[in-house]
């Protein structure tokens, strides 16, 4: 069974040897990554400061690791601690490349699926811009006293006060090779520079955590009808066949989560950030269709009574939040 999205090379997370062109290109990519990091460390390239603390949530391996659920949980925790957070994102996959504010009703093709999801779940300012420095400065100028950068661990032009590496608890770093021979954007050793390493154990699966790692679990208990109506407990789908739709970096995580609730899953994995069309959900029968929140923001406009989204909540140890807030210090006082 595939461990990745349909657009993920099979050798990244399997035992197959990467093809020769990928093995030849990987050292060149690694050398370019090392050169770029050296240029920032030596001062040839300069990171840009923002008038607010910046927290970057990212990963070393390409593909989904659970950054967005963690970013949402982080924003909510910061709000409870007295901060006024805003979220900066590149808005990957959107057709409109212009910088913009993302609101809960922003079309996903204009704001990006993940930024729209974050805006709906958190109700904080969300800014998308290919220039993350400009996005962070816009948030600070709009009254945010802390900026959460969803992805961007490799975007060294944006100075940051705290880095959180997110690791998929099942796939980890795949075959351990650099792109394109493997999934790594940077060497594994880069993670040692991060302030926190969070391991996404999903809904209870995974290899557990090691020394210095914080476990994160994704909790889901209900399905929300996209066409409107009352939510249903996931237990109401136990023993029933459903179409499960996931256009995320690791679709198998969603399918396994539904199976853990006793749901008989007919899996449909789409590429990450897939632009859905109504025919994508035409499976030739009237079985329920359950999908991730990230997919639901793109399907809501044409979803029918068969379609449900399954929200997730990221759960981390209380000690993680204590340690993180201690590193940030007290929130600024507001009148």
Encode pLDDT of 103-156 as tens digits.
998 988 888 889 999 999 999 999 999 999 999 999 999 999 999 998 888 899
Q: What is the mean pLDDT of residues 169-193?
A: 90
Could you list the residues known to form a binding site for ATP, using ranges. Answer: 61-68
Name the 3-class secondary structure at 27. Answer: helix
Going from the C-alpha of 129 to that of each of 122, 126, 217, 332, the distances in angstroms are: 19, 10, 30, 26
pLDDT of 284: 81
CA 136/CA 88 separation, integer angstroms: 6
The whole-number pLDDT of residue 2 equals 38
CATH architecture of 41-217+315-328: 3-Layer(aba) Sandwich (3.40)
pLDDT at 207: 56
pLDDT at position 243 over 90? yes
pLDDT at 167 over 60: yes
Q: What is the 3-state secondary structure (H, E, C) of 121-143?
A: HHCCCEEECCCHHHHHHHHHHCC
The confidence score (pLDDT) of residue 209 equals 67
How many percent of the chain have pLDDT more than 90? 55
Predicted local distance difference test score (pLDDT) of residue 3: 44
* Mean pLDDT, all residues of the chain: 89
Given this model, what pLDDT does residue 94 score? 75
- Write out the binding residues: 61-68
- pLDDT score of 197: 94
What's the pLDDT score for residue 9?
A: 80
The band of 26, judged by pLDDT with boundaries at 50, 70 and 90, is very high
CB 199 within 8 A of CB 167: yes
- Kindly state the tokens that stand for 258: 């539904």
Predicted confidence at residue 170, as pLDDT, reads: 83
Q: What is the mean pLDDT of residues 233-261?
A: 88
Question: pLDDT per residue over 4-20, tens digit each?
Answer: 455 678 788 878 889 99
The b-or-e profile of 220-253 (16+ CB within 10 A means b, else e) is beebbbbeeeeeeebeebeeeebbbbbbbbbbbb
Give burial (CB, 10 Å; 0-12/13-18/19+) of 258: buried
Q: For the whole model, what pTM was predicted? A: 0.89
Contact 83, 331 (CB under 8 A): yes
Per-residue pLDDT band at 1 (split at 50, 70, 90): very low
Ordered by start, the domain boundaries in the chain are 41-217+315-328, 222-311
pLDDT grade for 52, boundaries at 50, 70 and 90: very high
CA distance 222 to 138: 36
- Centre a 10 Å sphere on the Cβ of residue 189 and count the other Cβ atoms it contains: 8
pLDDT above 70 as % of the chain? 96
Mean pLDDT, to the nearest integer, of 326-333? 90
């Amino acid at each position: 069974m595939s461990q990745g999205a349909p657009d993920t090379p099979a050798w990244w997370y399997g035992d197959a040897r990467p093809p020769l062109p990928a093995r030849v290109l990987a050292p060149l990519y690694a050398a370019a990554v090392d050169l770029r990091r050296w240029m920032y460390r030596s001062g040839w390239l300069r990171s840009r400061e923002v008038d607010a603390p910046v927290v970057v949530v990212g990963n070393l391996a390409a593909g989904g690791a659970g950054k967005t659920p963690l970013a949402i949980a982080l924003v909510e925790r910061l709000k409870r601690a007295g901060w006024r957070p805003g979220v900066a994102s590149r808005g990957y996959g959107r057709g409109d490349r212009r910088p913009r504010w993302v609101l809960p009703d922003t079309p996903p093709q204009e704001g990006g699926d993940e930024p729209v999801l974050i805006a709906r779940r958190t109700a904080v300012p969300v800014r998308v811009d290919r220039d993350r420095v400009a996005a962070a400065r816009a948030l600070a100028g709009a009254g945010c006293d802390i900026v959460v950068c969803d992805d961007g661990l490799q975007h060294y032009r944006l100075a940051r006060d705290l880095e959180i590496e997110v690791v998929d608890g099942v796939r980890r770093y795949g075959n351990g090779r650099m792109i394109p021979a493997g999934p790594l954007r940077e060497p594994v050793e880069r993670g040692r520079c991060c302030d926190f390493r969070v391991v996404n154990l999903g809904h209870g699966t995974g290899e557990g955590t090691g020394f210095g790692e914080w476990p994160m679990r994704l909790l889901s208990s209900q399905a929300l009808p996209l066409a409107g109506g009352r939510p249903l407990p996931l237990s109401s789908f136990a023993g029933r066949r459903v179409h499960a739709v996931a256009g995320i970096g690791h679709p198998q995580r969603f399918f396994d989560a539904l199976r853990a609730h006793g749901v008989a899953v007919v899996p449909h994995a789409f590429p990450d950030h897939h632009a859905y069309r109504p025919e994508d959900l035409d499976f030739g029968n009237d079985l329920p269709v359950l999908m991730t929140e990230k997919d639901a923001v793109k399907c809501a406009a044409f979803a029918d009574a068969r379609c449900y989204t399954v929200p997730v909540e990221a759960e981390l140890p209380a000690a993680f939040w204590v340690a993180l807030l201690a590193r940030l210090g007290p929130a600024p006082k507001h009148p």
